[in-house]
């Protein structure tokens, strides 16, 4: 099946973004990744850019929308650094806001004109369960809460033009980013996993599946929503 228009996925070089890219490519999407490094799959068209840099972000987005009719966007690229209230620094705040919030805003701004012209668009922002509060995630959680808020306002502003904007908030998903905060085999990881209601960490493909649903042309009545894909963690902990 061929899908109308192209689909941008930021951070498609590994982890959740790569799983989304593979899932969508298999569904017939023309996938365009943005990251600093190339993905392992040579058939994923990738534009290299540093989304931490606003000028480079603007450059790459202009290049892509100049060449492709982009009707879908997944703002997936994100960075995480642990920071408690007492240890958080202004530099960390700036760094995480840049990639987790400013770049998604720029990407949405870049794709909206073609979506409005088409009277159709699908945007998915990848947030985090940490938006609801998690120790050591002071800044990261705040950027993801802000992204969910930005999703809601964008959804309202774009709804009349057939453009939906939704947020997926993953719980713990087995990627490099997750492993950096929860080293394999560590006591912390064992304790943590025991508390997950479904009894395991999630797989990147499970986020890709949810993302594909929001991107579907048939999902036009779903907008402004945040879906927690978290193994039940946002409901409660597994019984002790």
Does the annotation mark 47 as catalytic?
A: no
Distance CA 81, CA 139 (A): 8
Nearer to ligand NAP (CB atom), residue 43 or residue 176: 176
Does 226 participate in binding ligand NAP (rule CB under 6 A)?
no
Nearer to ligand NAP (CB atom), residue 49 or residue 115: 49
H/E run at residue 125: strand 121-126
Nearer to ligand NAP (CB atom), residue 35 or residue 151: 35
Going edge to edge, which strands form the sheet with 45-48? 45-48, 30-35, 6-10, 70-75, 121-126, 163-170, 226-229
Give the residue among 203, 173, 172, 214 at the shortest CA–CA distance from 73.
214
Catalytic residue among 7, 83, 96, 140: 140
* List of E strands, 57-103: 70-75
Does 77 participate in binding ligand NAP (rule CB under 6 A)?
yes
Question: Which of helix, strand or coil describes residue 168?
Answer: strand
Q: Which of residues 18-37 bind ligand NAP (CB under 6 A)?
A: 35-37
Give me the least distance between CB of 19 and ligand NAP, in Å please. Answer: 8
Does 134 participate in binding ligand NAP (rule CB under 6 A)?
no
Which residues in this chain contact ligand NAP in the complex, by CB under 6 A?
11, 13-17, 35-37, 50-52, 76-80, 99, 126, 128, 170, 172-173, 175-178
Q: Which residues are catalytic?
A: 140
């Amino acid at each position: 099946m061929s899908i109308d228009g192209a689909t941008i996925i930021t951070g498609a070089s590994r982890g959740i973004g790569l799983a989304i890219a593979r899932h969508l490519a298999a569904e017939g999407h023309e996938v365009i990744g943005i990251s600093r490094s190339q993905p392992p799959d040579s058939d994923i068209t990738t534009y290299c850019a540093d989304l931490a840099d606003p000028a480079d972000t603007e450059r790459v987005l202009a290049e892509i929308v100049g060449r492709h009719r982009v009707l879908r966007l997944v703002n997936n690229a994100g960075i995480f650094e642990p920071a408690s209230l007492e240890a958080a620094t202004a530099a960390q705040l700036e760094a995480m806001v840049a990639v987790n919030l400013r770049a998604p805003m720029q990407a949405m701004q870049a794709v909206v004109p073609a979506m409005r012209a088409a009277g159709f668009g699908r945007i998915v922002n990848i947030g985090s369960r940490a938006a609801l509060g998690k120790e050591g995630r002071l800044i990261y959680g705040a950027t993801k809460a802000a992204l969910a808020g930005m999703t809601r306002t964008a959804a309202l502003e774009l709804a009349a033009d057939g453009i939906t904007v939704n947020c997926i908030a993953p719980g713990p998903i087995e990627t490099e980013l997750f492993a950096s905060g929860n080293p394999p085999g560590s006591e912390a990881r064992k304790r943590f996993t025991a508390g997950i209601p479904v009894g395991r960490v999630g797989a990147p493909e499970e986020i890709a599946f949810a993302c594909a649903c929001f991107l579907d042309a048939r999902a036009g009545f779903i907008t402004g929503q945040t879906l927690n894909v978290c193994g039940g963690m946002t409901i409660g902990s597994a019984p002790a």
